[in-house]
């Protein structure tokens, strides 16, 4: 069973065209990733940053949007680990309207493991790699 984060579209997420402002989906992806960390990887994302001093900035993203979302739609954001490289992690995302079988949005983000003290790339540490690979 892949992980899904249940989110609600909020009043302020809507743009002048009456649909969700597309940058908000990048925010939803991040929120869902934060939920994925605590629910699936068994660590709070703020501990990754503040305690382990590891950052995961996005270096590449691709997203397809096939149908807009409106205020009042309840959504599910699916998060999967698609690849674990030496220093990079690729997260896959799909956004469903609750109850739908077809996603309306499909994307992935390549993130890179960063030492927050030096802001340099680093190898994914063993404890994190193990948990990520268990998701493949």
What number of residues does the chain have?
136
* Shortest spacing between CB 37 and its own copies, in angstroms: 10
Burial class (CB in 10 A: 0-12, 13-18, 19+), 63: middle
* Shortest spacing between CB 135 and its own copies, in angstroms: 20
In this chain, which of 2, 6, 15, 130 binds its own copies, going by CB under 8 A?
A: 15
Buried b (16+ CB within 10 A) or exposed e, 19-56: bbeeebbeebbbebbbbbbeebbeeebeebeeeeebeb
In this chain, which of 3, 36, 45, 91 binds its own copies, going by CB under 8 A?
A: 45
State the Cα torsion 34-38-42-48 to the nearest 10°: 50
Q: Which two tokens stand for residue 134?
A: 């268990």
121 belongs to the binding site for its own copies (CB under 8 A): no
How far is Cα 9 from Cα 36, in angstroms, rounded to an integer?
A: 19
For residues 54 and 84, which CB has a smaller minimum distance to its own copies in the complex? 54
Within 47-106, which residues bind its own copies (CB under 8 A)?
47, 49-50, 55, 57-66, 68, 71-72
For residues 6 and 134, which CB has a smaller minimum distance to its own copies in the complex? 6
Three-state DSSP at 91 gives strand
* From 23-31, 82-90, 94-102, 121-129, span contacting its own copies (CB under 8 A): 23-31
Footprint of its own copies on this chain (CB under 8 A)?
Answer: 8, 10-12, 14-19, 21-24, 26-27, 30-31, 34, 44-47, 49-50, 55, 57-66, 68, 71-72, 114, 116, 119
């Amino acid at each position: 069973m892949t992980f899904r984060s249940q989110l609600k579209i909020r009043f302020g997420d809507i743009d002048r065209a009456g649909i969700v402002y597309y940058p908000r989906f990048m925010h939803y992806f991040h929120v869902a990733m934060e939920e994925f960390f605590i629910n699936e990887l068994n660590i709070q994302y703020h501990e990754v940053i503040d305690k382990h001093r590891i950052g995961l900035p996005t270096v590449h993203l691709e997203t397809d949007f096939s149908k807009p979302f409106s205020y009042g739609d309840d959504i599910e954001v699916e998060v999967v680990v698609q690849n674990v490289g030496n220093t990079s992690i690729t997260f896959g995302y799909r956004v469903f309207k609750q109850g739908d079988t077809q996603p309306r949005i499909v994307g992935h983000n390549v993130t890179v493991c960063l030492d927050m003290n030096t802001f340099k790339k680093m190898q994914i540490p063993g404890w994190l790699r193990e948990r990520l690979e268990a998701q493949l």
